[in-house]
């Protein structure tokens, strides 16, 4: 029998934790029988939740600590808080090879700093990148960087292309990874110096891991013609927040239109299945689980405000990147 995958969970990070993290583990454990969970947090609070959500005793181990990092802590303040917080202990278990991956819904800045303090970078990668899944018309996009690096040079963007394609291959092994650079236009000569130089280098130096497809504009991200979209963290974070805001606006306005009068309510009943599919397509919980790429071990950031369903999806992403040999794929192609 193969050794089960072990996921380290910072049970105390994020809103409504540890309730949502423990319920999320329960949901994930029902669909993934070969996963073991190292749970870091306050045992006195976690134990009743384990019983409530009926997680089998052979599927987890609790590592007790009463200290946790708050959302209001600065990244540096969180790192100075001590090595007995739930987040630090979870990441340290990854460093000591007691876990295969770590998941936290807690403070993003703290996660970055503590992960970098404990884990090495993959050789030949200068900066980590935050990546996440976005839906498109035909499937899913990998988009990076989403905020880890405000400024990037050509090498950083080329590294992001390789890491994003490796992540895509880990999650969707039967698909061809198609990389594009996010730009203000699709013409080769448009954009700033960094992005034009990156275009030229990617176009001249082919990589077996992915197909380079040139530039993509923001209004074509969802078209599905490419599936790995690369940009710097400043632009990527703005694009992410804009997409999230637009999705929330569309769903709330549609709900208002469908419930504001009798005709709207009748129409919504007739189209119940289609409306449900549409809502699911825009449900951010189903794409929860951003990955900090570039480190020697997988580190997953769950959205702090997500619920148990969203947290369970971040655990599913963790499982896929481990099974898909994400780190090995990056190492094999980064040179």
| Residue 246 exposed, middle or buried by CB count within 10 Å (0-12, 13-18, 19+) | exposed
CA dist., res. 290 & res. 303, Å (int): 8
For residue 98, what pLDDT is reported? 96
Asked whether 226 and 202 are in contact (CB, 8 A), the reply is: no
User: Do residues 226 and 313 share a domain?
Assistant: no
Q: Does 11 have pLDDT greater than 50? A: yes
> What is the predicted pLDDT for the residue at 46?
98
In this structure, are 282 and 309 located in the same domain? Answer: no
- Kindly state the DSSP code that residue 52 receives in the 8-state scheme: H
Separation CA 20–CA 260 (nearest Å): 33
Average pLDDT over residues 6-29: 96
pTM above 0.95, yes or no: no
More confident position, 177 or 276: 177
Give the position of tokens 């690369």: 230
Task: Write the pLDDT tens digit of every residue in 216-274.
Answer: 999 899 899 999 999 999 998 888 888 777 777 777 777 776 666 665 565 555 565 66
Give the residue from 158, 94, 87 showing the smallest Cα distance to 129: 158
- Which residue is associated with the tokens 């992403």? 317
Please tell me the predicted confidence (pLDDT) of residue 147: 86
Q: Is the pLDDT of residue 212 over 50?
A: yes
Task: Using pLDDT thresholds of 50, 70 and 90, give the confidence band for residue 66.
Answer: very high
pLDDT of residue 90: 97
Question: Are 121 and 131 found together in one domain?
Answer: no
The number of domains in the chain is 2
Question: For residues 101 and 7, is the Cβ–Cβ distance under 8 A?
Answer: yes
Contact residues for 48 (Cβ-Cβ < 8 A; gap 6+) = none
pLDDT digits (tens, 9 = 90+) for 144-203: 998 888 899 999 999 999 999 999 998 898 899 999 999 998 877 788 899 999 999 999
On whether both 238 and 320 belong to a single domain, the answer is no
Q: For residues 40-66, give the mean pLDDT.
A: 96
Over 50: is that where the pLDDT of 1 sits?
A: no
Residue scoring higher pLDDT (312 or 3): 312
Q: Are residues 101 and 151 in the same domain?
A: no
Same domain, 179 and 34: no
Mean pLDDT score of the chain: 88
Range of the domain at 62: 1-125+294-335
The closest of 230, 151, 136 to 183, measured between CA atoms, is: 230
pLDDT one-digit tens code per residue, 68-118: 999 888 888 888 887 899 999 999 999 999 999 999 999 988 999 999 999
Q: Say how many C-beta atoms besides its own lie within 10 A of residue 213's C-beta.
A: 16
Average pLDDT, integer, range 321-334: 88
Same domain (yes/no): 13, 113 = yes
pLDDT above 90: residue 24: yes
| Angle made by CA atoms 106, 108, 114, in degrees to the nearest 5 | 90
**What is the secondary structure of 159-188 as a DSSP string?**
HHHHHHHHHHHHH-TTSPPEEEEE-S-SST
Contact predicate 90/40, CB 8 Å: yes
Residue 36, Ramachandran bin (φ over 0: left; ψ between -120 and 50: alpha; else beta): beta
Residues 54 and 92 grouped into a single domain: yes
pLDDT at 245: 79
Mean pLDDT, residues 125-144: 90
Q: Is 16 helix (H, G, I), strand (E, B) or coil?
A: coil
Q: Which two tokens stand for residue 188?
A: 């080769």
Same domain as 47, residue 161:
no
Q: What is the pLDDT of residue 335?
A: 66
Check whether residue 270 and residue 188 sit in a common domain.
yes
The CATH number of residue 177's host domain is 3.40.718.10
Look at the chain and count its residues: 335
Rounded-to-integer distance, Cα 159 and Cα 197, Å: 14
Examine the domain organization and report whether 112 and 224 are in the same domain: no
Category of 330 on φ-ψ map: left (φ > 0), alpha (ψ -120 to 50) or beta = alpha
Q: Between 209 and 287, where is the model more confident?
A: 209
C-alpha 46/C-alpha 69 separation (Å) is: 17
Q: Which two tokens stand for residue 109?
A: 């800045």
Q: Residue 183, preceding bond cis, omega within 30 degrees?
A: no
Query: What does the block give as tokens for 231?
Result: 């940009």
């Amino acid at each position: 029998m193969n050794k089960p995958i072990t996921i380290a969970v910072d049970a105390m990070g994020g809103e409504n934790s540890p309730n949502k993290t423990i319920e999320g583990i329960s949901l994930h454990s029902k669909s993934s029988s070969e996963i073991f969970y190292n749970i870091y947090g306050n045992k006195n609070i976690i134990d009743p939740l384990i019983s409530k959500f009926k997680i089998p005793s052979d599927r987890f181990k609790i590592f007790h600590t009463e200290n946790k990092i708050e959302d209001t802590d600065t990244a540096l303040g969180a790192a100075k808080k001590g090595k007995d917080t739930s987040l630090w202990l979870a990441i340290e278990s990854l460093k000591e090879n007691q876990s295969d991956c770590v998941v936290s819904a807690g403070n993003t800045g703290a996660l970055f700093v503590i992960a970098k303090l404990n884990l090495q970078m993959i050789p030949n990668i200068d900066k980590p990148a935050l990546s996440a899944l976005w839906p498109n018309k035909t499937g899913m996009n990998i988009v990076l960087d989403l905020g880890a690096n405000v400024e990037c040079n050509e090498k950083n963007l080329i590294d992001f292309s390789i890491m994003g394609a490796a992540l895509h291959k880990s999650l969707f092994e039967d698909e061809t990874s198609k990389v594009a650079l996010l730009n203000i236009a699709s013409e080769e000569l448009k954009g700033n110096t960094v992005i034009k130089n990156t275009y030229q280098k990617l176009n001249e130096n082919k990589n077996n891991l992915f197909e380079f497809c040139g530039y993509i504009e923001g209004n074509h991200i969802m078209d599905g013609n490419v599936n790995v979209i690369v940009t710097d963290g400043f632009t990527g974070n703005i694009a992410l927040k804009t997409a999230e805001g637009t999705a929330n606006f569309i769903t709330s306005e549609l709900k208002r239109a469908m419930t504001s009068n009798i005709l709207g309510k009748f129409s919504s009943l007739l189209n119940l299945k289609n409306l449900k599919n549409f809502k699911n397509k825009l449900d951010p919980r189903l794409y929860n689980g951003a990955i900090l790429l570039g480190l020697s071990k997988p580190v997953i950031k769950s959205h702090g405000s997500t619920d148990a369903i969203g947290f369970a999806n971040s655990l599913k992403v963790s499982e896929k990147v481990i099974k898909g040999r994400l780190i090995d794929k990056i190492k094999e192609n980064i040179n």
